[in-house]
C-alpha cells in the first residue's frame, strides 16, 4: 500500500512537471488530423482524376495519368477560422511511371470553403510548392495568410501537384493552430555575451537566422531591465517593424550600470518567443565609461603553425589599376606597401574572389598597349580599361 501511494505521488509530480513545461513552452494545437495508418481507410477523403489509389503502407496514395489527381474531404469541418491556422502536409511524390525518376518543383494548392462562400474557387486557395523527389517532405502552409480564411471553415480539397503522371503518397494532413514563436540567433556588433563590460552606452542587438516554421516574422521588440531582474521588470525600449536592414535595434543612451537586454520576436500570427528562449536575453551587460578597451592575448595558450599562404587578403582586380606602377613593378603608394608589409600580409590573392569570375588571363598578358578592356561582374557592370594592369598573380609584398 505504501509503495502504491508513493507511485501515485511520483506520477502526480511527473504530471505536474509536464503541465508546467507545457505552459512554459507554447505548444501548437491540432484542430483536425487525418493520419493514413489503417489499411484501406480513406478517412472520408475522395480521390479524383487518379488512375488508381489506395491506403496502404502508411499513406493515402494515388497515381495520376494525363490530368493531375486531387483529394477532397467529404465531411464538413465546421471549424472557426483562426489567423494562426496552418496545414501540415506530410507527402512523398515521384513520377508514377518510374520509381527512380524525379520531377521538379510545381505548385500545389489547398482549396477551402466557408459558411459565407460555399464553393471552391481560386480566391480561397492556399498555394505552396511541392517536389517529386521521392522522399518525404513536410509542408507547413499558413492558412491565416489568406484573407478569405474567416468565419467557419466548411470543406477542404488538396491538390498536391499540377504534374501529371505522378505517384502521390500522403502520410497525413493536419489543421493546426500555430502557437510557436519565431526562432533566431541574437547577435550584436561586438558579439558581447553574458557578463561582459562595455565602455559605450548605446549597445545594439541584431537578430540573425530568423525563422518561423509557419509564417514570417512581423515585428521585434527590444527590452531592458536591471541585471538579474524578473520578467515583470522588462521595459520596452524600441520596436523594429520593418524587414529593412534586418531586425535590429540600437539602444538609446543608458546610464552606467548593469543590464539584461531582451528580445521578443513575433511571427505573423503574433506569437512571440518566450523569455526562456535561449537566445532571448543578453544577461548582465555592464556599461562602464571608465573602462579602457583592451584586447587580451594569451600567448601561452595553444598555438599551431599555419601556412603563410592563407594569411592574405583578396584584391579585386579592377581596383588595382590605379595602385600599381608597371614601370617600377611596385605599388604607387610606398606607404600602402609598407603598411601591408607591417600587417604581415605575405600573399595577395588576385584577381579577387567572385570578381575573378569575369577576369581572363589571356587578355591580361602581352604588350600592355594591346590588352583589351575586361568586364567586371554584376558589381562592376561597365567595361573599364586595364591596359596598364600588369600585376603578376600572387603578388608578394
Interface positions with Ca ion (CB under 5 A): 178, 180, 212, 214, 240, 242, 244-245, 267, 271
CA distance readout (Å), 219 to 134, 179, 188, 223, 396 = 37, 16, 18, 13, 49
Helices (H) and strands (E) in the chain, counts: 2, 26
334: helix, strand or coil:
helix
Contact 374, 383 (CB under 8 A): yes
Q: Which is nearer to Ca ion, 140 or 387 (CB)?
A: 140
Burial class (CB in 10 A: 0-12, 13-18, 19+), 351: buried
Q: Which is nearer to Ca ion, 185 or 365 (CB)?
A: 185
Quote the least distance from Cβ 272 to Ca ion, whole Å: 10
Q: Which is nearer to Ca ion, 48 or 274 (CB)?
A: 274
Quote the least distance from Cβ 184 to Ca ion, whole Å: 12
d(CA 330, CA 283): 51
Q: Which is nearer to Ca ion, 172 or 271 (CB)?
A: 271
DSSP structural state of residue 182: P
Quote the least distance from Cβ 266 to Ca ion, whole Å: 9
Quote the least distance from Cβ 249 to Ca ion, whole Å: 9
Contact 293, 199 (CB under 8 A): yes
Q: Which is nearer to Ca ion, 37 or 242 (CB)?
A: 242
Quote the least distance from Cβ 271 to Ca ion, whole Å: 5
Contact 350, 317 (CB under 8 A): yes
CA distance readout (Å), 350 to 165, 238, 316, 361 = 51, 44, 7, 11
Q: Which is nearer to Ca ion, 163 or 214 (CB)?
A: 214
Which residue's CB comes closest to Ca ion?
A: 267
Quote the least distance from Cβ 243 to Ca ion, whole Å: 6
Q: And the C-alpha cell for 125?
A: 486557395
Amino acid at each position: 500500500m505504501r509503495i502504491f501511494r508513493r507511485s501515485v505521488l511520483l506520477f502526480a509530480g511527473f504530471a505536474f512537471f509536464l503541465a508546467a513545461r507545457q505552459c512554459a513552452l507554447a505548444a501548437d494545437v491540432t484542430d483536425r488530423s487525418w493520419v493514413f495508418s489503417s489499411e484501406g481507410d480513406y478517412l472520408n477523403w475522395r480521390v479524383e482524376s487518379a488512375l488508381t489509389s489506395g491506403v496502404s503502407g502508411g499513406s493515402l496514395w494515388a497515381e495520376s495519368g494525363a490530368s493531375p489527381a486531387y483529394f477532397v474531404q467529404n465531411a464538413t469541418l465546421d471549424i472557426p477560422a483562426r489567423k494562426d491556422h496552418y496545414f501540415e502536409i506530410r507527402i512523398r511524390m515521384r513520377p508514377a511511371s518510374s520509381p527512380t525518376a524525379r520531377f521538379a518543383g510545381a505548385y500545389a494548392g489547398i482549396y477551402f470553403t466557408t459558411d459565407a462562400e460555399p464553393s471552391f474557387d481560386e480566391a480561397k486557395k492556399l498555394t505552396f510548392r511541392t517536389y517529386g523527389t521521392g522522399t518525404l517532405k513536410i509542408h507547413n502552409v499558413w492558412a491565416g495568410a489568406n484573407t478569405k480564411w474567416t468565419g467557419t471553415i466548411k470543406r477542404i480539397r488538396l491538390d498536391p501537384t499540377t504534374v501529371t503522371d505522378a505517384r502521390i503518397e500522403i502520410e497525413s494532413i493536419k489543421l493546426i493552430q500555430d502557437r510557436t514563436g519565431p526562432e533566431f540567433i541574437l547577435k550584436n556588433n561586438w558579439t558581447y555575451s553574458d557578463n561582459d563590460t562595455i565602455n559605450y552606452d548605446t549597445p545594439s542587438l541584431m537578430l540573425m537566422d530568423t525563422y518561423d516554421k509557419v509564417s514570417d516574422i512581423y515585428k521585434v521588440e527590444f527590452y531592458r531591465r536591471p541585471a538579474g531582474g524578473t520578467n515583470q521588470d522588462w521595459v520596452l525600449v524600441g520596436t523594429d517593424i520593418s524587414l529593412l536592414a534586418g531586425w535590429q535595434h540600437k539602444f538609446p543612451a543608458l546610464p552606467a550600470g548593469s543590464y539584461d537586454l531582451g528580445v521578443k520576436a513575433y511571427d505573423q500570427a503574433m506569437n512571440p518567443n518566450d523569455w526562456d528562449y535561449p537566445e532571448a536575453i543578453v544577461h548582465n551587460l555592464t556599461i562602464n565609461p571608465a573602462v579602457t578597451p583592451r584586447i587580451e592575448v594569451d600567448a601561452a595558450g595553444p598555438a599551431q603553425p599555419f601556412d603563410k599562404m592563407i594569411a592574405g587578403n583578396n584584391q579585386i582586380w579592377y581596383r588595382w589599376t590605379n595602385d600599381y606602377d608597371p614601370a617600377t613593378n611596385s605599388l604607387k603608394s610606398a606607404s600602402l606597401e609598407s603598411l601591408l608589409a607591417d600587417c604581415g600580409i605575405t600573399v595577395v590573392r588576385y584577381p579577387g574572389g567572385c570578381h575573378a569570375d569575369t577576369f581572363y588571363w589571356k587578355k591580361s598578358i602581352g604588350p600592355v598597349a594591346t590588352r583589351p578592356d575586361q568586364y567586371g561582374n554584376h558589381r562592376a557592370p561597365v567595361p573599364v580599361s586595364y591596359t596598364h594592369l600588369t600585376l603578376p598573380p600572387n603578388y608578394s609584398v
